[in-house]
Amino acid sequence: MSKDNQILEELTSKEYEHGWSVDYEADEAPAGLNEDIIRWISAKKEEPEWLLDWRLKAFRTWQNMSEPEWANVHYPKVDFQALKYYSAPKQAKKPKNLDEVDPELIAIYERLGISLNEQKRLQGIAVDAVLDSVSVATTFKDTLGKLGIIFCSFSEAVKEHPELVKKYLGSVVPMTDNYYAALNSAVFSDGSFCYIPKGVRCPMELSTYFRINAANTGQFERTLIVADESSYVSYLEGCTAPQRDENQLHAAVVEIYAASHAEVKYSTVQNWFPGDKEGKGGIFNFVTKRGICAGDHSKISWTQVETGSAVTWKYPSCILKGDYSIGEFYSVAVTNNYQQADTGTKMIHIGKNTKSRIVSKGISAGKSQNSYRGQVQVMKRADNARNFSQCDSLLMGDRCGAHTFPYIDINNPTAKVEHEATTSKIGEDQIFYCNQRGIATEDAVALIVNGYAKEVLNQLPMEFAVEAQKLLALTLEGSVG
């Protein structure tokens, strides 16, 4: 075995940092999926009738759908009857503010490096912390409330702002959109809701932190962001899960609605447990994320750093309906060991003079498979639509794979669509050059990878960028061959 391979083995066997779990008393639904379970969840959450009907309709549709098989990923079929669809830490009563939240739950987040204590936070980031199926705390609610910004858990929004939820829920990702979106619509338990009123620029980053703790539980959260006219919000999402031998299912839905002149920036650092180095365990991350630029001159920008999950199936997309609207997708997807990722975006140009930009950086190491799948569609009336796509792949070692599946569908002759793609390998020459300047191999790889992903990392809010850089380094240190 060459020295490089040894380093590869050593470093890729590095353990997942967030693999611990905590025992707390949980309120769980029995395993299995049927209408009764859905009624049980809905009742547990004291939901109005219309929402239960909506769930049941989604469930009935889902039952007649079949799992998509077109993605370039292979995994054992999920036994939906073996899963539990609801698990919540037991709290004596619903906490009204942070002081009332069980300190044990707060401690879970502290351990993840997320302080829910508002005073402790230097920078203003409001956090909604979702543990398994429920939101345990949302910070800075009062500060935001003064500006008319609503930032709360999804369940709370259903109770407090039913008119908004009713209006926008499923408006971007219809309940019947796809297999996992339908499943999510039927059983979603919690998530975040955010509404930015007209003309308001949200003064702090809003953030949701998802954590799966319970075993044999699926996490199905739902996020809905509505940016009213001329408003702005930057939204962050982070996630981790304990290290478990069995696979766990995460099927989330995120919907973004941007009215005219509104701008939404959505950033994700996804670090679900990727499975061990033999490919055992890990999260199945089957997520539907979509935004609609409904109004003219609106803008939605997705930035994602995907380092975790055993299998990822995810295409954050933009529907560019408003004239002059802009969609952006910046992605770094890293796979190592036996991870598989099939990720990319869809840019649907409907309005005139719409623009989209796609920058995708795939990094594959170990025996992983990394696919970019992207669709650019220009509809008939989308005069002067522009798209620029750049898809780069970086390979480490000779046992991994990188694949690119671009789909381009143009129905208007004035469209201008550009697609660039490159594939490269981290060179031994680059590593040696760094070594010769005194830089250790694992730091050299981190340096080279971060350089490669820089264009995407630059899109992240400052402190997220730092976390993302560390994650990239952790996931890949020394994966050379």
Paired tokens of 4: 């490089």
Q: What is the footprint of other proteins within residues 370-389 (CB under 8 A)?
A: none
Residue choice 427, 463, 466, 470 for contact with other proteins (CB under 8 A): 427
| Closest distance to other proteins from the beta carbon of 164 (Å) | 42
What lies within 8 Å, CB to CB, of 440 at 6+ separation is none
- 425 burial type by CB count under 10 A (0-12 exposed, 13-18 middle, 19+ buried): middle
| Closest distance to other proteins from the beta carbon of 422 (Å) | 10
> Considering the rule CB under 8 A, would residue 390 count as an interface residue with other proteins?
no
> Considering the rule CB under 8 A, would residue 435 count as an interface residue with other proteins?
yes
List the one residue out of 219, 288, 230 whose CA is nearest residue 254. 288
- Convert 368-393 to b/e letters by CB count within 10 Å (16 or more is b): bbbbbbbbbbbbeebbbbbbebbbbb
- State how far the Cα of 20 lies from the Cα of 26, in Å rounded to an integer: 17
Paired tokens of 258: 């941007």
The crossing angle, in degrees rounded to 10, of helices 3-12 and 441-452 is 70
SS3 407: strand
- State how far the Cα of 419 lies from the Cα of 347, in Å rounded to an integer: 13
Residue choice 1, 3, 77, 92 for contact with other proteins (CB under 8 A): 3
Comparing CB distances to other proteins, the nearer of 286 and 452 is 452
Distances (CA, A) of 4 to 12, 170, 350: 12, 50, 50
Residue choice 52, 147, 447, 473 for contact with other proteins (CB under 8 A): 447
> Considering the rule CB under 8 A, would residue 182 count as an interface residue with other proteins?
no
Alpha helices (H) in 161-298, listed in sequence order: 162-168, 179-187
Comparing CB distances to other proteins, the nearer of 13 and 422 is 422
| Closest distance to other proteins from the beta carbon of 148 (Å) | 40
Strand duo 401-410 + 369-378: pairing: parallel
| Closest distance to other proteins from the beta carbon of 282 (Å) | 29
Residue choice 302, 329, 452, 464 for contact with other proteins (CB under 8 A): 452
> Considering the rule CB under 8 A, would residue 76 count as an interface residue with other proteins?
no
What lies within 8 Å, CB to CB, of 185 at 6+ separation is 54, 55, 58, 59, 62, 170, 175, 253
> Considering the rule CB under 8 A, would residue 330 count as an interface residue with other proteins?
no
| Closest distance to other proteins from the beta carbon of 122 (Å) | 20
> Considering the rule CB under 8 A, would residue 5 count as an interface residue with other proteins?
no
| Closest distance to other proteins from the beta carbon of 7 (Å) | 10
> Considering the rule CB under 8 A, would residue 451 count as an interface residue with other proteins?
yes
Residue choice 97, 432, 466, 470 for contact with other proteins (CB under 8 A): 432
> Considering the rule CB under 8 A, would residue 430 count as an interface residue with other proteins?
yes
Comparing CB distances to other proteins, the nearer of 141 and 361 is 361
Point out which residues pair with 269 in neighbouring strands. Answer: 238, 305
Comparing CB distances to other proteins, the nearer of 32 and 427 is 427
Residue 454's H or E segment, with its range, is: helix 454-457
Comparing CB distances to other proteins, the nearer of 4 and 102 is 4
List the one residue out of 406, 361, 364 whose CA is nearest residue 387. 406
Query: Where does this chain touch other proteins (CB under 8 A) — which range of 50-58, 179-187, 210-218, 436-444?
Result: 436-444
The residue count for binding other proteins (CB under 8 A) is 26
> Considering the rule CB under 8 A, would residue 51 count as an interface residue with other proteins?
no
Judged by the rule CB under 8 A, the positions of this chain that interact with other proteins are: 2-4, 427-430, 432-441, 443, 447-448, 450-455
